[in-house]
Structure 1
């Protein structure tokens, strides 16, 4: 589970310890987070949210600001034909309000765990909420070549190129509620969660069979979770719900 907070001076040490790969692209993201993000946030020019895992470690961030994107009539008609997007067809209207996903980064040691996917969907939800209060049609991003497929899988469409970057747009209103992709928990975290479930079961005086009856699982499923070597997150969720133990408490 990820917890977020706005960037502030109290997180300076966390930000300084945020780890990037030393490629030219990542160096530019690092420079933004460590040198510019806080100042721009305080000026309300670009808003940055920091995301922390269950161990209070900073695992990622993203930055948003208001934007306008240019879509000519031909492109507008193509988007309508390909994706069913409805946009105003006033002849002189070629710019549309958008929220820009200015930067998004995941600490190098926490990649391939689903955090980036989670944060993109959070950004989509924020932009969708904004669109209900103020005119806004898109969430847009300038994607590196290496991330184009990542954004494409999240529903972003190619608009144009800007040098080595691809301008991509997500049409707000295309999703009623973004489907969050599950975060991948490492084995150490899963084992810690199981240990706390065992403690909760024992404190309640429940046998494996009693827990199985509460969850409609088999008694062998409970035993496999507690004694096996590969804990299953879905089984953990079922048992924690039956025992009245929140996932937040399991992850503390």
Structure 2
């Protein structure tokens, strides 16, 4: 059972002891928690909650602030078709939201379900705000290593920039059906992912037949991926990446 408190000076020692993996992604999250979060919290620009276990160990945190979600008309049509979302058509196609600025779990306490617990609290908070002032989405700039984590919990792809995948969760989506499990990635990002796969295949000197056998897919899929405009689904790309020994999150 976790309990929370808001960030304050009294937890400075706990924050200093919070452990992240030594990777560029996690270092940036750690720098935020240890160097920037308190000042933003004091200014009410971004509010941070700290979560503790029954022994009062700091196991995780998240930070929220208000956001405005821009969705193109094409994406609106796609989301309505795939997920059944009903949204008002605004002049600038912008919708109110809450941004999950950062979410982190101490590396010593991972694999215990704490990340899921924190994310449920994020959605509960946003839903409460929505009942009082209007809020359609929770948004997050997901690190490539955490895309699957958010996708499995109902977040859908909005766009990709150099560092992050912009993902959104529509409030009011209580049940996640199988269609929600299918990630829809923008064509530009998919194109880059396919280029990486093709480059790796050629580097290894594999022909289409060999890759198809290694990945457990039909050879026609490999040919279509390289020579036609037909775009494979994300699950197929994952199979190919695994066969080519490319970590999936490095394709983005």
TM normalised by structure 2 equals 0.68
Aligned to 1:138: 137
Distance 1:162 1:50 in 2: 29
2:136 is aligned with 1:101: no
Q: CA RMSD in A?
A: 1.0
| Deviation at residue 163 of structure 1 after TM alignment | 1.3
Counting matched residue pairs gives 175
In the TM superposition, structure 1's runs of 4+ consecutive aligned residues that sit over 4 Å from their partners are none
| Deviation at residue 14 of structure 1 after TM alignment | 0.4
Cα shift readout 1:183-231 (whole Å, capped 9, x = no counterpart): xxxxxxxxxxxxxxxxxxxxxxxxxxxxxxxxxxxxxxxxxxxxxxxxx
Aligned to 2:18: 18
Aligned to 1:234: none
| Deviation at residue 164 of structure 1 after TM alignment | 2.7
Distance 2:122 2:142 in 1: 15
Report which of the two structures shows the higher radius of gyration computed on alpha carbons: 1
| Deviation at residue 89 of structure 1 after TM alignment | 2.0
**In structure 1, the residue corresponding to 2:18 is in which secondary structure?**
coil
1:79-94 matches, cutoff 5 A: 79-90=79-90, 92-94=91-93
Distance 1:145 1:18 in 2: 22
Aligned to 1:61: 61
| Deviation at residue 136 of structure 1 after TM alignment | 1.0
Distance 1:161 1:77 in 2: 19
Aligned to 1:193: none
Extract unaligned runs of 5+ from structure 1.
177-252
Extract unaligned runs of 5+ from structure 2.
176-252
Aligned to 1:111: 110
Distance 1:40 1:164 in 2: 22
Aligned to 2:164: 165
| Deviation at residue 93 of structure 1 after TM alignment | 3.4
Cα shift readout 1:19-78 (whole Å, capped 9, x = no counterpart): 111111111101100011111001000000000001000000000000111101111111
Higher RCO (CA 8 Å, separation ≥ 6 residues): 1
TM normalised by structure 1 equals 0.68
